[in-house]
Amino acid sequence: LARATYRLAKHPNIQAKLQAEIDEHWKDEVDIDYDIINDMKYLDMFIREVLRINSSTHRISSRECSQSTIVCGHHIEKGSIIQADRYTIHRNIDLWGPEDPNEFIPERHLVKRHPLAFMPFGIGPRNCVGMRFALMELKMALANILHKYTILPGNELEEGMKIQENITLSPEAINIRIRKR
């Protein structure tokens, strides 16, 4: 949520698109629900872009190589521990171009990508068990906030987030303000 509010404060044009979509799908007299949230395609693209650019971890769970093999000219011995670098994958121009993969562009998720290009929760049968819950929780929180408020930069919103590494990667502080719509 902190990473998402940072992006909203930095990109008011994207925030306006999100608020327009939320207003279109959510009438004041109706409580927001699962079906309404799932119809919000731009919200989904926005969240996917937040997770692509600002993953909560850099690495995916490691795997042990079950047999010796050669991958892209590199010999990998049986028993070697293999670990993908999510940061590099999520910013690879070949996977996320033609636009600069370091730029925040939610619309890039309109294009079908390689199935392993986007992996904020890991991949395969051992991916994050809480993925669907986390995504729905984030969508509901953002929809509720943006329905009533606009996120604005604080007095000291920095160009980049300072990240602290613990079990996960998290921003040290996000300086934003909110204004009632």
pLDDT tens digits for range 151-164: 998 877 666 666 66
Residue 77 lies in a domain: no
Domain-located, residue 65: no
Domain extent at residue 43: 2-58+104-180
Omega within 30 of 0 (cis) for the link into 98: yes
* Cα 75 from Cα 70, distance rounded (Å): 4
With respect to residue 86, please indicate whether it lies within any of the assigned structural domains.
no
Let me know if residue 173 belongs to a domain.
yes
pLDDT for position 175: 81
pLDDT, position 58:
64
Q: Is residue 20 part of a domain?
A: yes
- Domain-embedded: residue 63: no
**pLDDT for 160:** 66
Positions in the chain short of pLDDT 50? none
Give pLDDT, residue 49: 97
DSSP state of 120: B
- Number of domains comprising the chain: 1
pLDDT of residue 163: 67
Quote the CA–CA distance of 78 and 141 in Å, as a whole number.
45
Centre a 10 Å sphere on the Cβ of residue 44 and count the other Cβ atoms it contains.
17
Question: Can you give the pLDDT at residue 174?
Answer: 79
Contact yes or no for 82/138 (Cβ under 8 A): no
pLDDT score of 27? 78
Residue 143 domain-assigned (yes or no): yes
Predicted confidence at residue 147, as pLDDT, reads 93
Distance CA 105, CA 135 (A): 19
- The closest of 33, 59, 52 to 136, measured between CA atoms, is 33
Is 114 a member of any domain? yes
Q: How big is the chain by its Cα radius of gyration, in Å?
A: 18
